[in-house]
Structure 1
């Protein structure tokens, strides 16, 4: 008889375990996407761009230190890290429902009475200690689907952190380059201002000496005033961009050092693009969108599980005794067990409506995922052509600057020899000033295009260099779809 009981118990356990292996709803599989884009023929293919670290791309020691500081101190990034902690805790809470919940309940009661007629006094005491166990058997995989969704949502916040980290690196670099460009334009303008002050002084002397007409003197004065009017606006832009960089670093507004001239900033000749399909694994915003899709898919299964019965096992075991000193010896055993089965018979369409809602949510997330992929492909395509064309623009601006310098040299020489009038000199000065300003802007645009392309390709992430310490390695490595 004893052997039959054991066999029956083992058989029941095997049946329960077998049923718990079932999970309602579809298992996730990555949607088919048309990502085989033929990049521009001049694009560099080969190694993944992720193999180029941001400190190799931005070869400026001060900029590197600013980026490192931003990755540690930026407050928005800290918010994203705290969000990971929140979802990590929620994931643990969801997973705990798979296991039995064990607790304890203690109870003490006492009463006393005295009969005045008989003189009898009664004291009744009762003590009880009970252990409790409750376990909702996941027969149809509802809880496991919820855990699957919680894991995906957690990984989504991790990818959001990655995305924000890459964006932060890009923003620090772009703000730094913009600040260097403004610094350079301010230097050019101040240098031009000194030259025009000298030109205006000479024009005044020549006018007073009767060598030139007053109009040439007034033209020099106008050019001087125009140049002088540009300086306050450039100084304002320096302050605003400096404050913006300080905020990115997690600092209050303050002065910040800059190293090198913008023209000394190195530009990589080419960035390896790799295959377009690699973006699915490399860009964190795409990975985050897919995590959201995994979570939405799992929620369909969790909703479908409500169609089926729910089995909860509860049990109690303990002692009850009239004496606290000899609680176990003088007490008696107290135990009970309950198997609670609830099954939906009529829900007025509630379960069906919930399943349909989860399917609709999945379709929404699916289309968002596809849109994210298409936008990523567009950003890479835009980045490639911009990176190529800004290099050509910079070369053309450099040629223009060289020609403008020669034009001014010849104009000044011919003016001193009386061959041309002062208008030609002013025109040459104006063209040189514009060429210097334009070249500075072209250099900045080329540097920014390098940053944008690098970001669009999902570069700068090797899985560890910007990983927050709160992310378990096994979770960060579990992105194999």
Structure 2
């Protein structure tokens, strides 16, 4: 009868607390709106370059060695790997919260009760045989085990664990996105270094041409065909070109050190290909369809996992309005003499208790947490939509860039060919006094600038090949 009354009382209390606590405040929800276009250029070809592994995509052995070194020693990447370990431990911690906690306890002490207290007075007024009196002070020895468990009836703790798992997976995708960017940055710097090497070679070749031209002008001055002004102009142009080679050398040093930093090592020469950059032909890119970005881009998958975690956080925050049930239990042995600890059942003790708690008044802190969790969920929705939109625009931009750079390169190559031929023509005309020295100087300068621009355009082509590979989501697998 007594147990039935207790159970009924607990049931009524639970129902009352649940009814009063379940009045959660209303919030504005937002769903994801991410319709992506069906194609980039009305092409339904699903072949996607992003599926190619970076070792197969970058076939230059020197570049592959640099990337491989960076993936092992780059400090920022290694920092991110430790952040993944932190996220993994958070998953372990949240999982332990919804499992029972069991521990052991051992204790020993003495207790002297003051005579002028209720217990002390009772002992003083009790007539007990001398051999049956309690020791004073009273020793106390305890050994036992205890357990605590919060019954997760609203899935609060399980959802918190799922959110931690989602964040762990998000950190993994964040690492993959960092790998993609790292591979891209190394490849771009590598092609920039090759371009500088080619520009330096062009400058040194031009120095030889201008040196020969200067000697020719000096001979013509001796023959009274030109004045000292022409000699000085040619000499100044030669000095300007000679100075340019040191500017390029400085850029080479800085680019090498940028690569060394990405590789996590101190400055040292970068081994690289000696193949002329203009001989490199970018392979045709296959972008697939936009829907593949959702699977290939690590930043999109990271945003998606962050959104899933944020939605679970809202459920966790909402569950805080509901009653929680906790169970505690303990069992052990306690006695004032260690030899009595093994005597059972006299020294045996055990306990079992349950508690029911629910917020009723002044729930501002819980409401604030709930509203914040919902705001972060809406923020995560916008972040996911932005990641998808940004990925599509990046690919569209790089596809257009590839096409425009190819057309630009063809025109600049024809320009270089025309200006290179004009150098010989201007020199011949100058020797026969049918062109003045300024025409020769301007022709040489224009030819040098056009060769520089051609190398720059080729470097941009190679960079666009790298960038679209990153934009499609390649480089991390």
TM-score bracket for the superposition, by shorter chain length: 0.7 to 0.9
User: 1:363 matched to which residue of 2?
Assistant: 378
Distance of 1:45 and 1:216 partners within structure 2: 62
Structure 1 residues 414, 453: closer, same or farther in 2, change over 3 A?
A: same
Cα distance in 2 for partners of 1:434, 1:294 equals 54
Distance 2:358 2:36 in 1: 46
For 1:39, the equivalent position in structure 2 comes to 40
Whether contact under 8 Å (1:50, 1:461) holds in the other structure is no
> Structure 1 residues 230 and 264 mapped into 2: Cα distance closer, same or farther (>3 Å)?
closer
Who is 1:381 aligned against?
A: 396
Which deviates further from its counterpart, 210-219 or 411-420? Answer: 411-420
Alpha-carbon contact 1:203-1:217 (below 8 Å) kept: yes
Tell me the equivalent position of 2:52. 52
> In the alignment, what sits opposite 1:93?
93
Query: Does the alignment pair 1:249 with 2:250?
Result: no
Superposed CA RMSD: 2.9
Aligned with residue 158 of structure 1, among 165, 168, 172: 172
**Structure 1: unaligned runs, 5 residues or longer:** 13-18, 463-481
Inter-CA distance 77–431: structure 2 relative to 1 (3 Å threshold): same
- Bigger radius of gyration, 1 or 2? 2
The residue number in structure 2 matching 1:447 is 462
Provide the aligned length of Structure 1 versus Structure 2.
Answer: 437
| Distance in structure 2 (CA, Å) of the matches to 1:407 and 1:192 | 14
Residues 171-210 of structure 1: pairs in structure 2 closer than 5 A: 171-210=185-224
| Counterparts in 2 of 1:247 and 1:38: CA distance versus 1, 3 Å | same
Deviation at 1:166, TM superposition (A): 0.4
Range moving further from structure 2, 199-208 or 212-221 = 212-221
1:258-314 per-residue CA deviation (whole Å, 9 max, x = no partner) reads 212342664443211111011111111111111111111111101111121100000
| Alignment partners' CA distance in 2, 1:102 and 1:171 | 51
Partner of 2:338, secondary structure, is coil
The answer to whether residue 321 in structure 2 is matched with residue 307 in structure 1 is yes
Q: Secondary structure of the residue that 2:41 maps to in structure 1?
A: coil
Q: Which residue pairs with 1:402 in the alignment?
A: 417
TM-superposed deviation, 1:44? 8.6
Q: How does 1:104-119 map to 2 (within 5 A)?
A: 104-110=104-110
CA distance in 2, matches of 1:265, 1:80: 38
Deviation at 1:170? Answer: 0.3
Q: Distance in 2 between matches of 1:380 and 1:36?
A: 12
Match of 1:461 in 2: 476
Q: TM-score by structure 2 length?
A: 0.85
Task: Report the Cα offset of residue 248 of structure 1.
Answer: 0.4
Counterpart-to-counterpart distance in 1, 2:70 and 2:283: 27
Contact map agreement 2:30 2:378 (CA 8 A) in 1: no
Partner of 1:131: 145
**2:118 aligned residue:** none
Residue number in structure 1 paired with 2:436: 421
Shift of 1:450: 0.7
Aligned to 1:285, which of 299, 312, 318? 299
Tell me the residue number matched to 2:274.
260
Q: Deviations over 1:41-99 (max 9, x none)?
A: 5x793322232222222221011000000011100000010000001001110111110
